[in-house]
Amino acid sequence: MTINLRALTGKLEPTNTGPGAPHKPETKTGARQSDSDSLALTDTATRLKEAEQALSRADVIDMARVTRVANALQDGSYQIDAEQIAEKLLELDSQLP
């Protein structure tokens, strides 16, 4: 089976990828490089970035709660509420598609 590359690209260009190949920076046709290029973020993007940074600083694990549960498990006072667990499972199940 033959692949017609001209139909895909319109032309064939020689490729030199060996160790001695010259390095050409890739630029778009008509694009120019400038030392004063800038990027403007929308208000939404700025708020998202701030939220992302705040979340990255937040504790993922509530160590105070972990300590309370660990202590309750050790001294035997940890209570399991089966009804509450069942309600949460049903709530989660109702959210599934």
pLDDT tens, residue by residue, 23-76: 665 656 666 666 778 888 788 988 999 999 988 888 788 899 999 999 999 999
Q: Which residue has the higher pLDDT, 18 or 91?
A: 91
Measured distance CA(97)–CA(90) in Å, rounded: 13
Q: What token pair was written down for 7?
A: 């139909």
pTM of the model: 0.34
Helix H segments across 1-97?
A: 5-9, 43-57, 63-75, 82-95
Instruction: Report the alpha-carbon angle 53-56-57, nearest 5.
Output: 90
Q: Is the pLDDT of residue 1 over 60?
A: no
